[in-house]
Structure 1
Amino acid sequence: MAIGRDPLDELVVPDGTEAKEVALETDGDVLVGARSSVEFGVRGRNVIAGERVEFGGDIEADGDCRLDMWCDVADNVLVGQDAYIGERVHIGGQLKVAGDLDIGDDVDIEEGFEANGWIVIRNPMPTVVLLFVYLKHLLLIGEEDTAQRLISELVDEQDEVPTIEPLVIPRNATVGDDAWRVSTPARIGDECRLHGNVRAESIDVGAASNVFGSLRARGDVTVGEGSRIHGDLTTRRGDVTVANGARILGDVSCGDLELGPDAEVDGTIRADGEITMGTSKRERE
C-alpha cells in the first residue's frame, strides 16, 4: 500500500473470502470504517472498527479486537488475544477475551464479559500507545535489557506472520446479503464467494470468484478469468472487460466491451462503444 494513502478509500475483499449465511470469513485482518453497517458477523485475525459501526452477528478475532465508541454488535464478541472497547459500545451477547481487556465508560454488554488477563476500565488506548508506554517505563527504571528483549520478540513475531491483505470496508458502507454499497472503488480478490449486489465507483473482480448478485458501477468493471457473476453487469460511463472463461449470467450494459477467449454473456449486450471479442480455445483448434 502506498505511503500516505488512506487505507479506507477502497472496498477490498481479499483472496479466498467467503460470505456465509451468518459471517464474512477471511484469514487476514478486518478493517471497518466509521458509520458503516455490516449485516453479517465477521471472522478474521484482528478486527478493527471505527466509530458507530454496526455488526449484525458475532465478531470472532483470532488476534486483537478494537471497537471504537458507539459501535453496536448484535451478538457475541470472541477475542483470541486482547480487546479494546470504546465508550458507549453495545454488545448484544457475551464478550470473551483470552488476553487483556481495556474497556471504556458506559459500555453495555448484555450477557456479561470475562477476560483471562488484566481488565482496565477507561478510555481504550491503542496497542501501539500501550507498547510505547510500557517500553518507556522499562527504560525509566533501568531495565534496558528487558526492553530490548521485548522489542526483539515483537519484531520476530511480526516476521513470522505471513503478509495477508486485510478485508477493508470503507466509511459509510453497507454490506449485507442483499447488497454491498460503497462510494469508493471495489476490489474483489481471487476465489471469493459473495452474496449480494455490488454497488461501487468501479469494480474489479479477480479470478475464479463467484458473485451471487449484480455488479453496478459508475466507472470501469473488470471480471477476472473463470469468474461467475450471477446477475446483470452495468456501468454508467465506464468500460467492461470480461476475461477468459468468465461468465455473466445476465445482461451487460457499458461503453466499450472486451470479451476474452471463451467468455460468455447469457443475456443482452448493450454497448455504446466498441465490442472486442477474443478467440476461443475451440476456434483456435
Structure 2
Amino acid sequence: MPMRRLDCGVLGPTPIDQLHIPDGTTVKEHDVVADSDVLIGAQSQLRLGVRGHNVVAGERVSVDGDIEAAGDCRLDMWCEVTGNVLVEGDAYVGERTHITERLVVGGDLDIGDDVDIEEGFEASGWIVIRNPMPTLTFFVMYLTHLLRLGEAEDAQELVEELAADSDRGPLTIPQSASVSDDAWRVSTPATIGDDCRLHGNIRATEIDVGRGNNVFGSLRAQNDVTVGAGTKIHGDVTTRNGSVHVQGDAVVLGDVSGHDVTIDEAADVDGVIRARGEMRVGSVADRDAE
C-alpha cells in the first residue's frame, strides 16, 4: 500500500531537550541496546551502533556501527551510517544519506534523492523515491503523542503505531551529543532509568541516575547529581556548582565532590569526599526526622 504523508503546522525547536536513558538500556559489543524507541537529535555523533524498536535520527547524525530496528527506522538528510541498516518494519531515508554497507527493509521503503548505499538495498514492500517527511516534524508529532497533547487524528494514528513501547519513554539523545565507549557528552540534563548497564563517562548539565545501574565510568555535571540506591559507579562523581546525593546502598568507586554532599548511611564511597558547603552522612529516616 502507498506510504502516508501528513501535513504539519508551524514547528518550534526540537523537543529533545535532554539525554534520557530508559530502564534496562545496555551497551553490548559496541552497540547501544534499548527495549524502547530511540530518538537521536540533529548533528549528534554516535561512535556505537544502535538497536531499538523504532529508531529515528535527525539531520546530519552519524552512527559508527549498525542500526537495527525491530519496528521502523527514519533517517533525516545528510545522515552517515558506517555499517548496515536492518529494519523489520518501514524505512524512511532522507536525501544525501550515506550508508557504507546494506539497507535491508522488511516493509516499505521511502527514500530521498542522492542516497548512497554502497552495498545495495532491498525492501519487501513498496519502494517510493521522494523526499520523506522531515524528521523534526516527526519528533514533534511523536513527543506530542507521548505527552498526550495531539489533536490531529491522522498524526495520532501514525504515532500510536510507532510508539508501541512509550510507557517507559524512548531513549533520547539531544542535538549535538557525542556518544562513545569513552563518554556520553551532552549540553543538557541527563536522566538514567533503572537496571541499566552503561560504558563511558557521563557529562551533562545535571545528572539523575536511577536504581540498580552499573555505570563503567564517572559522572560529572555543572549542577546537581543524584545516584540512586543499588547503583554502582566505576569512577568519580563530581559537580561544579550543584549538590551530590548518593542514595541507599549505592557504591561509588572513586571520589565524590560538590557544593553540598549527602551520603546515605548504607552507601559506600571508595574515595575522598569533598564538600565546599555542607556534608551530611546518615540514613533517610534521620534526615526526615530533622
TM superposition score normalised by structure 2 = 0.83
Taking the aligned partners of 2:271 and 2:190, their CA distance within structure 1 comes to 24
Identity across aligned pairs (percent)?
62
Distance 1:52 1:5, change over 3 A: closer
Please report how far the alpha carbon of residue 122 of structure 1 lies from its aligned counterpart in structure 2 after TM superposition. 1.2
Match of 1:222 in 2: 226
1:104 to 108, 112, 128: 112
Match of 1:68 in 2: 76
Taking the aligned partners of 2:186 and 2:163, their CA distance within structure 1 comes to 33
1:21 to 8, 14, 29: 29
Deviation string for 1:155-178 (max 9, x for gaps)?
A: 996897662310000000000000
User: One-letter code of the match for 2:219?
Assistant: L
Match of 1:189 in 2: 193
**Structure 1: runs of 5+ lacking an equivalent:** 131-147
Taking the aligned partners of 1:277 and 1:117, their CA distance within structure 2 comes to 61
Match of 1:120 in 2: 128
Distance 1:68 1:159, change over 3 A: closer
Deviation string for 1:87-131 (max 9, x for gaps)?
A: 11000110000111010111110110000111011111369x99x
1:47 to 55, 66, 76: 55
Deviation string for 1:54-95 (max 9, x for gaps)?
A: 001000011111100000000000111110000110001100
Taking the aligned partners of 1:153 and 1:238, their CA distance within structure 2 comes to 42
2:241 to 228, 237, 260: 237
Taking the aligned partners of 1:236 and 1:155, their CA distance within structure 2 comes to 40
2:277 to 270, 273, 276: 273
Distance 1:156 1:193, change over 3 A: closer
Match of 1:263 in 2: 267
Taking the aligned partners of 1:194 and 1:227, their CA distance within structure 2 comes to 11
Give the SS at the match of 1:187: strand
Distance 1:49 1:259, change over 3 A: same
Larger Rg: 1
Does the 8 Å CA contact 2:71/2:162 hold for their aligned counterparts? no
2:207 to 203, 206, 213: 203
Please report how far the alpha carbon of residue 201 of structure 1 lies from its aligned counterpart in structure 2 after TM superposition. 0.1
Matches within 5 A, 1:241-252: 241-252=245-256
User: One-letter code of the match for 2:120?
Assistant: G
Taking the aligned partners of 1:245 and 1:208, their CA distance within structure 2 comes to 10
Match of 1:90 in 2: 98
Distance 1:195 1:123, change over 3 A: same
Give the SS at the match of 1:102: strand
User: One-letter code of the match for 1:210?
Assistant: N
**Structure 2: runs of 5+ lacking an equivalent:** 1-11, 139-152, 286-290
Taking the aligned partners of 1:159 and 1:172, their CA distance within structure 2 comes to 24
Please report how far the alpha carbon of residue 277 of structure 1 lies from its aligned counterpart in structure 2 after TM superposition. 1.2
Taking the aligned partners of 1:213 and 1:262, their CA distance within structure 2 comes to 22
Does the 8 Å CA contact 1:233/1:253 hold for their aligned counterparts? yes
Please report how far the alpha carbon of residue 153 of structure 1 lies from its aligned counterpart in structure 2 after TM superposition. 8.6
Please report how far the alpha carbon of residue 280 of structure 1 lies from its aligned counterpart in structure 2 after TM superposition. 9.2
Does the 8 Å CA contact 1:27/1:164 hold for their aligned counterparts? no
Taking the aligned partners of 1:165 and 1:26, their CA distance within structure 2 comes to 11
Q: What is the root-mean-square deviation of aligned Cα atoms in Å?
A: 2.6
Distance 1:160 1:263, change over 3 A: closer
Match of 2:179 in 1: 175
Does the 8 Å CA contact 1:195/1:211 hold for their aligned counterparts? yes
Taking the aligned partners of 1:85 and 1:241, their CA distance within structure 2 comes to 43
User: One-letter code of the match for 1:207?
Assistant: R
Does the 8 Å CA contact 1:262/1:280 hold for their aligned counterparts? no
Q: Which runs of 4+ in 1 moved over 4 A?
A: 150-162
Q: How many residues align?
A: 259
